Amino acid sequence: MGGPSSQGGQPPAGGGPTSLFILSEDNIIRKYTRFIIEWPPFEYAVLLTIIANCVVLALEEHLPHGDKTLLAQKLEKTEAYFLGIFCVEASLKILALGFVMHKHSYLRNIWNIMDFFVVVTG
């Protein structure tokens, strides 16, 4: 109940006929990734992660000669975790929506383009 097939057996709107030329609309992996990315707690978790990352970036201190405070050293260790979370989010969205070829694919949304740029340059 409430899973990816809860929409009367119809594939969810958006995306294309295949994802990455491999996963069709009725593929179980694609259905569940679609369910996950549209699940409100997932969306809130991603938003909270973005906010937490902004706070960490705001707390960074740039001292002369590359010196770092103890807080800055600890906060620097969180970067890998944030990058990992953002990579998982991007991967799930790419699996669910497709990458770029279809009308509603991942890179056809301006926010996802920014998200992808952050992940790739991270």
Question: What pTM does this model have?
Answer: 0.77
pLDDT tens for 26-85 read 889 999 999 999 999 999 999 999 999 999 999 888 778 777 788 888 898 999 999 999
Q: How far apart are CA 23 and CA 65, in angstroms?
A: 51
Q: How far apart are CA 66 and CA 15, in angstroms?
A: 46
